[in-house]
Structure 1
Amino acid sequence: MTPTPSTPPSRRRLLQGLAAAVCLGAAPWALAAPYPEITWDDLMPADWDPTKPFRDLQKPDLRSDSDPRVQALYDRLRKVWDEAPTVPSMAGRQVKIPGYIVPLESGKNGIREFLLVPYFGACIHTPPPPANQIIHVRADPPVKGFKTMSAVWVSGTLGLERAGSAMGASGYSMQAAQVAAYTNK
């Protein structure tokens, strides 16, 4: 079928893309489908309760940030959250997820590596979110036009890879296929 002015625009684009793929030697089924959108909740196991390890704390009598018990509690929280479980079935999935950028490696060519986090200020203020709420994103080529805490949509392939950084531990990795400014659909 050859696209004509009477062919609906969406079908016309599909046919043009299919024709381009065939001309370039790609198999028609290799055309990239849109990345399905996921939420941050999808990255947490359904049975994981991040408060469970802290049920022994009723009303902690902590006087100030300099109290050694505050640091002990913080260290305990970091250990539990850095070891937060991931969802094995997410490995290898192509997804699209919104979040905020926390740059790890950037330069004049843009941001090559960053953490994607679910809420504004995460990883900048302590404590950072649990590892299953942080995605270590690699972008090649580097992305331009974004800065710390820019709201973005990131599309790519998820991996289960724990990595530590000064900003927090990530439970997921992603090779970004696209990073775009966030829009509310």
Structure 2
Amino acid sequence: MNCYALLKCGVCALGLWLAGQAVAQSVRDTVRETVPQVQPALSGEAPPPGASVASSTRTIGWEQLIPAGWDPYKDLKALNLDKLKDNDPKADEALKKMRKMWDNAPINPLILGQSVRLPGYMVPLEDLPEGTKEFLLVPYFGACVHSPPPPANQIVHVVLDKPTKRFRLMDTLWVTGALSATQTDSHMGMSSYRMEAKLVAPFVDKK
């Protein structure tokens, strides 16, 4: 299963957690009304046009941040969602476990310390007059803002040398730098990775 499919299943699962809070509606009805339409994760195949980066830097995709064999929604596999009734405690318990597992999602140690270039959407962590110096990079539109946060190993905490006013919420970017296994708990979501960015550039699809 590819990264997009994993994330889509995960977001649908968290949508179910929200559904469990609605007393008057069934789990299935609430899911249909509240689960966002998630876009695919940005592709890591195309290099940013005109960008000047070191030859040792390689472009990666979001699936490479997930360690082999890790299942982001294993706690839901034992549930038959079609048979659950309103506010079923089994669903609530499973989804809480899954959220805890997601917030402590393991990193891929093979990618640490490497200079990589990763595409994603910007979620600023601050709103300062001089601009943004720290933000979360997420794989699909709306993550952490219009939908629940993805697993922590699908969020990168990016720190810039200097604040920038060039980019805004949900702008698509290429971010280049070395990844470290540094967990950050922010008001927008938990991240398993951190990057001291050497280059941030607009994302442009390869034609």
* TM-score (norm. length: structure 2): 0.68
Aligned partner of 1:172 in structure 2 is 193
1:145: how far off? Answer: 1.5
Counterpart residue number, 1:61: 84
| Contact in 1 for aligned 2:76/2:94 (Cα 8 Å) | no
RMSD: 1.9
Letter in 1 for 2:98: L
Q: Given the alignment, which residue of 41, 44, 58 partners 1:36?
A: 58
Q: Give the aligned length.
A: 152
CA distance in 1, matches of 2:108, 2:194: 13
Q: TM-score, normalised by structure 1?
A: 0.75
Give runs of aligned pairs for residues 1-185 of structure 1, distance below 5 A: 32-33=54-55, 35-59=57-81, 61-63=84-86, 67=87, 69=89, 71-185=92-206
Rate the CA distance shift 1:57–1:156 in 2: closer, same or farther, 3 A: same
Residue 74 of structure 1 deviates from its aligned partner by 3.9
Structure showing greater radius of gyration is 1
Amino acid at match of 2:66: M
**Residue pair 1:101, 1:152 contacting (<8 A) in 2 also:** yes
Aligned partners of 1:163, 1:183: CA distance in 2, in Å? Answer: 28
Offset of residue 32 of structure 1? 3.6
Offset from partner CA, 1:103-133 (integer Å, 9 cap, x none): 0023122210000000000011342100110
Distance 1:137 1:34 in 2: 20
| Counterpart residue type for residue 37 of structure 1 | T
Q: Whole-Å Cα distance in 2 between the matches of residues 108 and 34 of structure 1? A: 35
* CA 71–55 in structure 1, closer or farther in 2 if over 3 Å, else same: closer
- Shift in alpha-carbon separation, 1:61–1:68, aligned structure 2, 3 A: closer
Identify the residue that residue 24 of structure 2 maps to in structure 1. none
Give me the whole-angstrom Cα distance separating, in 2, the residues matched to 1:77 and 1:172: 19
Contact 1:78-1:127 at 8 Å conserved across structures:
no
**Distance in 2 between the 1:127 and 1:120 partners?**
12
CA distance 1:35–1:143, shift in 2 (3 Å): farther
Identity %: 45
Q: Report 1 or 2 for greater relative contact order, CA contacts < 8 Å, sequence distance ≥ 6.
A: 2
